[in-house]
A and B are shown apart, each in its own frame.
Chain A
Amino acid sequence: MMNKIDKQHSSLHIHNHIRIQENNFNVGDEHTALQQDAPSIGAIVTFTGLVREFTKGEDTQLFLEHYPAMTEKVLSNIINQATQRWDIISTRIIHRIGHLSLGEQIVFIGVNSPHRADAFAAATFIMDFLKTGAPFWKKEITPTGEVWVDAKDSDTSAKNQWLNNTEKTL
C-alpha cells in the first residue's frame, strides 16, 4: 500500500473500463489496453472466467441475465473500494450476458498497478465482490431442462474474508 500523497497522485490517472456485452472478448486486446493505460507501470494481473460444467456429462449451456442500471453502479462501487485499498492505475471489467456454451469466456478482470501484490489482491477482491454483489444470474440449460444456478456459500465466505481483514495476506 502506498502512502496517501502517492495514492492521490495515481488516482488522478485511473482509467476504469466496464463493459457488459453478449459478444466474446480478446484477452490479448484487453492486456494491450491495460499496458497502454500506463506504459511505464510495473504489473498487470488479469483473470478470465470460463463457463464450466455444472452437470456432469451433459451438454450444458448457460443463459446470463443482469439488471443493467444496477450492474454499472455496483461494479463502479467495487472499483472505488479497490482503489481506496490498493495502488491501482487502471482496471478493466468485462462480463458477458446471453447464451454461452461450455468453455466460453464469461468474465474478465484486469488490474494495472506499480506493484504485483496490489494487482493480485485487487483483482481477487474485485472478483469476490462481483460474484456476491453484482446483479447477474445464471441459468443452466441442459437437454433435460433448465435450472437457475444457486448462489454458493463459498463465494460469500470469500467476500467476507475481505470484510474481516483490512489488509489481506495472499
Chain B
Amino acid sequence: MKNVAENPIGSSFNSSSFNSTLDKRFGNPVMITLRYFAQLRETLHCSEETLQWQDDINTVAALKKQLSQRTSDKPNHPHNHSYNVQWQKAFNGNILCAVNQEIAQDNHPIQDNDEVAFFPPVTGG
C-alpha cells in the first residue's frame, strides 16, 4: 500500500487471502484508489492511497468496516493505539462515501479500479 500524503507510521490490513486478490489475466493485484477529504483527510493524515482489492471489501459497508479496524504495520510503535483509534472514530462517524465520484450507499459494490472517496457532509455555498 502506498500513501500519497504523509502518514507517520504507515499502515496495513490484517488480511489473509492474498491469492484471491490476484487478477487472473495478468497475475497483478487488483487495486482501488481511496481518497479522503476535509477533516477526514486531516485526522487520518492521508489524502489519497491505493489499496489491494479483496473479496472481503467488495461493498462500501465492508470497506468501511475494514478501514475502521485498521492498525499500523508497526505494532510496537508508540502511536499505534492512537492510529487505530483515529481510523475507528473516523469510520464510525457521520461520513459519506462516493464511488467513482457518485454518492454511494453502504450496499454499493466496489470493483477493480474504482475510486472510493470518504468525506464529511458537505458545507459549500
A→B interface (CB under 8 Å): 49, 64-67, 69-70, 73, 95, 106-107, 127, 130-139, 148-152, 155
Interface size class of B (residues with CB under 8 A): 10 to 19
Which residues of chain A come closer than 8 Å to B102, judged between CB atoms? 70, 73
- Inter-chain contact total with CB atoms closer than 8 Å: 72
Could you tell me if A131 and B39 are in contact, using CB atoms closer than 8 angstroms? no
B→A interface (CB under 8 Å): 35, 37-39, 41, 98, 101-103, 115, 117, 119-125
CB nearest to B96 among chain A residues: A135
Decide: A137 near B38, CB < 8 A? Known: A67-B98, A69-B101, A73-B102: yes
Could you tell me if B38 and A65 are in contact, using CB atoms closer than 8 angstroms? yes
Which residues of chain A come closer than 8 Å to B125, judged between CB atoms? 49, 95, 106-107, 127, 130-131, 134, 136, 155
> How far, in angstroms, from A151 to B120 measured CA to CA in the complex?
9
Which residues of chain A come closer than 8 Å to B123, judged between CB atoms? 136-138, 148-152
Could you tell me if A148 and B35 are in contact, using CB atoms closer than 8 angstroms? no
Could you tell me if A151 and B101 are in contact, using CB atoms closer than 8 angstroms? no
